[in-house]
């Protein structure tokens, strides 16, 4: 008989844990006590809302952002963010946990590539010790 056990699904705690596992990432509430941001070298790459824990906002390459929005109902232009570069992703919809983690990686990478050479070198130095 097939298992009826539900597969683990994304939640705010898993999302937060994954973001914080990346090098040089910090978290803070810069706007109010509701909006939690994840930053690499003080630059935001992901955001979650305590009042809407079922979704996250992440930076994305503009072409990829449009492609993702066309293929996944869980992904749309981010409310209150520049929709050209930011997507909001609804958890537990048609975007798998694997895809969400890939989007966190992509968002992180999008921000890292805009950092100064010195900041990028600091991240690379940490990664080389892993």
- Dump pLDDT digits (tens) for 11-23: 999 999 999 999 9
Q: 13-37 burial, b if ≥16 CB within 10 A, otherwise e?
A: eebbebbeebbbbeeeeeeeeebbb
Residue 127 lies in a domain: no
Residue 18 counted as domain residue: yes
From edge to edge, which strands make up the β-sheet containing 43-49? 25-28, 35-40, 43-49, 52-59, 86-90, 75-77
Q: Does residue 77 lie within any of the structural domains?
A: yes
Assigned domain for 83 exists: yes
> The pTM is what?
0.86
Query: How many domains does the chain divide into?
Result: 1
Stretches where the chain sits below pLDDT 70 are 1-8, 125-130
Over residues 48-65, the pLDDT tens digits come to 999 999 999 999 999 999
Handedness of CA 66, 113, 125, 119 (dihedral sign): negative
Q: Which domain holds residue 92?
A: 12-117
CATH number of the domain enclosing 103: 3.90.1150.30
- Closest to 120 in 3D by CA, of 107, 105, 109: 109
């Amino acid at each position: 008989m097939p298992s009826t056990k539900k597969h683990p699904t994304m939640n705010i705690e898993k999302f937060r844990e994954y973001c914080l596992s990346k090098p040089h990432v910090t978290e803070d509430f810069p706007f109010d006590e509701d909006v939690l941001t994840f930053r690499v070298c003080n630059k935001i790459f992901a955001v979650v809302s305590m009042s809407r824990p079922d979704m996250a906002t992440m930076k994305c390459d503009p072409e990829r952002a449009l492609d993702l929005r066309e293929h996944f109902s869980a992904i749309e232009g981010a409310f209150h963010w520049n929709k050209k570069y930011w997507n909001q992703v609804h958890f537990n919809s048609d975007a798998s946990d694997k895809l969400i983690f890939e989007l966190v990686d992509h968002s992180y990478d999008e921000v890292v590539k805009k950092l100064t050479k010195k900041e990028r070198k600091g991240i690379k130095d940490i990664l080389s010790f892993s």
